Structure 1
Amino acid sequence: MMNRKMKRLRTVHFVGMGGSGMSGIAEVMIGLGYKIQGSDIRMSEQLERLKALGAKVFLSHLPDNIKKADALVVSSAISSNNCEVVEAKKKMLPVVARAEMLAELMRFYYSIAVSGTHGKTTTTSLISTLLAEGGLDPTYIIGGCLKSSNSHAKLGLGEYLVAEADESDASFTHLKPMISILTNIDFDHMSTYEHDKNKLYSGFLSFLHNLPFYGLAIVCLDDPGVKEVMPKISRSVITYGTTDKADIYAKDIHFSESKTSFEVYRKNKNKKISVELNLPGIHNIQNALAAIAVATELDIDDKSIIEAFKNFSGINRRFQVTKNVTVKDGKITLIDDYGHHPTEILATINAIKSGWGSKRITLLFQPHRYTRTRELFSEFVEVLSQVDQLILTEIYAAGEEKIDNISGQSIIEDIKNKSSKRPIFVRSLQESVDVINRTVKNGEILLLMGAGDIGSFVNDLPDLLDS
């Protein structure tokens, strides 16, 4: 039901509506009774879903698109020179950032916001799943597609809203939740913070201090960046991690392919929980512990926590495993992951090694953004040397201009100069098919990673491989 405080807002136009964060907000607002329309440059699954739900979709940016709009919500990927934005300002219409619109929705709920450089989508998904299993029927807005609902978002009937807090443009400081989670702090999107570590840390602290004085910060004690800011957090704090110094911690950890089991101890509870999780890796144990901290705070019973994890079906492109993919030499395991930062790549590689032992790993990686590649060049070189075979594409620009001497080929050359590895450069994803056909053998693992169009390529790949 439309909130009466926002009833003057009848028709809302989303500029860049196909983005994962934008489409989720749009879907929730459709459910609340708002008339939603939006523009983007190409059709996508998210836009098809919104269209089926009643949204009007424009596949171009034109001033005429907004003639019936009461307000514009603008993706961070959209320039201030966009013709729809310019037209809205001429007409004196409100133009708000995605995070500002999310903040307005959150005001009407008991809101839970998940921040951190890595793990936001998985943690938000796990929290939403635990709240649903606990009978709280939450509203959620997630940066990935939750398999159980086949959607980025859902309008629940309960009082809770769970959402990601995006630090990439510092817009997460608009949000004012009741519970904030901080998974980790790493160096990414540093141009937003003027390449200053202290400004990055200050951004996360500002987000945490948007909590009311009676709010709760749930933070990962395993992370060095989090530990550095902890003494400055002036709100109630619960810690989680794999160390017994944390308030909520995991012990007796066992990995088996994509499944993980562990015991959870909570310092304010005498009873431990035995958890089975359909996700691999230490980083996903940490994500699960954050969700358990929220569930415990909201008095969700242990049985519901255990059942939620056991039945969790995952998120698209977050360690998505396809077994028995046919190649010329037999069967391989295909793993697809959205990770595109060196820390995420290393966590995924380590998760595979923990779950699958010494099986040979081939990584097909598509770097994402020239600026990120430049800022983390040496880290990329180091982590991409950790696999048995690397196939590297050209950088996916994501709208950025090329930067001199920063390319897929320059990464390849630096790896060759600093190790005995012999990575393979391909000019296109299509070109990688021949390399995979020639080099990936029966029983091996093929890992695809990146945030660009490799995400759609993975759907076609099994049919392109020799069988």
Structure 2
Amino acid sequence: MAPGLPAAMDRPHFIGIGGAGMSGIAKILAQRGAAVAGSDARESAAVEALRAQGATVHLGHAADHLAEDASCVVVSSAIRADNPELARAAALGIPVVHRSDALAALMDGLRPLAVAGTHGKTTTTSMLAVALTTLGLDPSYAIGGDLDGPGSNAHHGTGEIFVAEADESDRSFHKYAPEVAVILNVELDHHANYASIEEIHDSFETFTGRIIDGGTLVVSADHPGARDLTRRLTGEHVRVVTYGESADADVRIRSVVPQGLRSEVTVLLDGTEHTFTVSVPGRHYAHNAVAALASGTALGVPAADLATALGSYTGVQRRLQLKGEQGGVQVIDSYAHHPSEMTADLDAIRGAAAGSRLLAVFQPHLFSRTRELGAEMGAALALADASLVLDVYPAREDPIPGVTSDLVVDAARAAGADVQAVHDRGAVAELVAGMAKPGDLVLTMGAGDVTDLGPRILDRLAQ
């Protein structure tokens, strides 16, 4: 039976409660019986889903939104120090808890499985959550994206397993003590918090040191950064299980056979072959599924059962999610915002829809990332037949002088891409409608509000 409320979290107040990570923690606390309250900058589907769970959500940030009897205030790294609710918490002496500490408290008493990596965390965590649920194990889970509808990013289960997406961006994954940890890949990203790949490696090494004695680390045998990390690991407090296509992988991927927007994957695990279907295209998603298989079996779930259950996963919102089709044009949404993710998703769509023309609508995410990786983003866009590039989505950052989406556009043109800068989001649907022809695929791509353009494009195509 899952544990109840952590101490001092019976009346939590969340600042930024509608965020992907925050809303999941708030939902689990509400399902455990907490009187959840919070605030967010705007109305959203996530906010509505929390209200349906009984949470009180205020729009905008104001000191009087924080009740005097709140047991704690939960924040993420995106909350600025001058937030009025944070200032009121200090004045009232209400404890301030980082969301990673809140999530760690929710995992106490359970068997945590934490999924880390520069790319693929949300997909792999989702695959595990769906598969374990299909098997009747009723896991708790907290994911950085919705499975099928608003509010489906988290669940308070009655089972003993807790599956969590472990975020490296602000080093918050150092707070967790998993029984099983997954590392999908290791690359330099989050340039506002990491100055070098060496700092990234140090951070992931600290994370592996948090695995409980006798636990398991599941790590890619193929990704160079993950292999480098594995070579750095010392000590024998955990079992290391590698997976991938490399000949020395403990869980060996024998084949990945594309089947339209699906793949058939065959793996060799403990001397037995397992073949199962992955209902999203692309080799990288097949690898995510095998990571899920290896980590689930490390918790004692029978491999044959888990392989079959993984076939019930049908995708997560924003991860090559088909938004619809109008006039013979399919519109697909992708969360890819790092060059490696962009390349993988563009390649996946190319492989799944050979012969179709691919049009990309890309929104760079964060000024710091665009400064460091804008050239690589532009090179990735050369894989599309034509691209529209929007202005940088700032998220939590202030502008950086000289850093604009032109860095991406210029690099894309240098790589031979057909690319156009678009500074008016409202013009995108009309531009796409003028470019797209029956049989084309349109990919909206980025971690910001570019996702909102898919329905608008479909509406315009229908006219």
Q: Normalising by the residue count of structure 1, what TM-score does the alignment of the two structures yield?
A: 0.94
What is the Cα deviation at residue 251 of structure 1? 1.7
What is the Cα deviation at residue 406 of structure 1? 2.0
Aligned residue pairs total 459
Supply the AA of the counterpart residue of 2:260: E
For the 8 Å contact 1:257–1:352, the answer to whether it is kept is no
Query: What secondary structure is seen at the aligned counterpart in 1 of 2:141?
Result: strand
Q: Determine whether 1:427 maps to 2:427.
A: no
What is the Cα deviation at residue 405 of structure 1? 2.6
Measure the CA separation in 1 of the matches of 2:349 and 2:6. 48
Q: Counterpart of 2:42? A: 42
Supply the AA of the counterpart residue of 2:156: L
Measure the CA separation in 2 of the matches of 1:123 and 1:459. 26
Equivalent residues in 2 for 1:370-409, closer than 5 Å: 370-409=367-406
Q: Counterpart of 2:447? A: 451
Query: What secondary structure is seen at the aligned counterpart in 2 of 1:101?
Result: helix
Query: What secondary structure is seen at the aligned counterpart in 2 of 1:35?
Result: coil
Equivalent residues in 2 for 1:246-325, closer than 5 Å: 246-266=249-269, 268=270, 270-322=271-323, 325=325
What is the Cα deviation at residue 288 of structure 1? 0.4
Supply the AA of the counterpart residue of 1:435: L
For the 8 Å contact 2:134–2:312, the answer to whether it is kept is no
Query: What secondary structure is seen at the aligned counterpart in 2 of 1:191?
Result: coil
Q: Normalising by the residue count of structure 2, what TM-score does the alignment of the two structures yield?
A: 0.95
Query: What secondary structure is seen at the aligned counterpart in 2 of 1:465?
Result: helix
Supply the AA of the counterpart residue of 1:263: T
User: Where does structure 1 differ by over 4 angstroms across 4 or more consecutive aligned residues?
Assistant: 1-5
Supply the AA of the counterpart residue of 2:346: I
Moved more, 272-281 or 296-305: 296-305
Moved more, 53-62 or 303-312: 303-312
Q: Which runs of 5+ in 2 are unaligned?
A: none
Q: Counterpart of 1:29? A: 29
Equivalent residues in 2 for 1:183-222, closer than 5 Å: 183-193=184-194, 195-222=195-222
What is the Cα deviation at residue 246 of structure 1? 0.7
Measure the CA separation in 2 of the matches of 1:3 and 1:134. 21
Q: Which runs of 5+ in 1 are unaligned?
A: none
What is the Cα deviation at residue 34 of structure 1? 1.1
Q: Counterpart of 1:226? A: 226
Measure the CA separation in 2 of the matches of 1:310 and 1:103. 30
Residue by residue over 1:202-250, the C-alpha shift from the partner in whole angstroms, topping out at 9 and shown as x without a partner, is 0011011101221111101111111111122233110111223111121
Measure the CA separation in 1 of the matches of 2:29 and 2:183. 27
For the 8 Å contact 2:331–2:454, the answer to whether it is kept is no
Measure the CA separation in 1 of the matches of 2:158 and 2:191. 38
Q: Counterpart of 1:118? A: 119
For the 8 Å contact 1:124–1:163, the answer to whether it is kept is yes
Measure the CA separation in 2 of the matches of 1:7 and 1:414. 52
CA 1:85–1:126: 2 relative to 1, 3 Å: same
Supply the AA of the counterpart residue of 1:461: I
Moved more, 127-136 or 332-341: 127-136
Q: Determine whether 1:344 maps to 2:341.
A: yes
Q: Counterpart of 2:171? A: 170
Measure the CA separation in 1 of the matches of 2:319 and 2:3. 34
Taking only aligned residues, the RMSD between alpha carbons, in angstroms, comes to: 1.8
Q: Counterpart of 2:456? A: 460
What is the Cα deviation at residue 201 of structure 1? 0.6
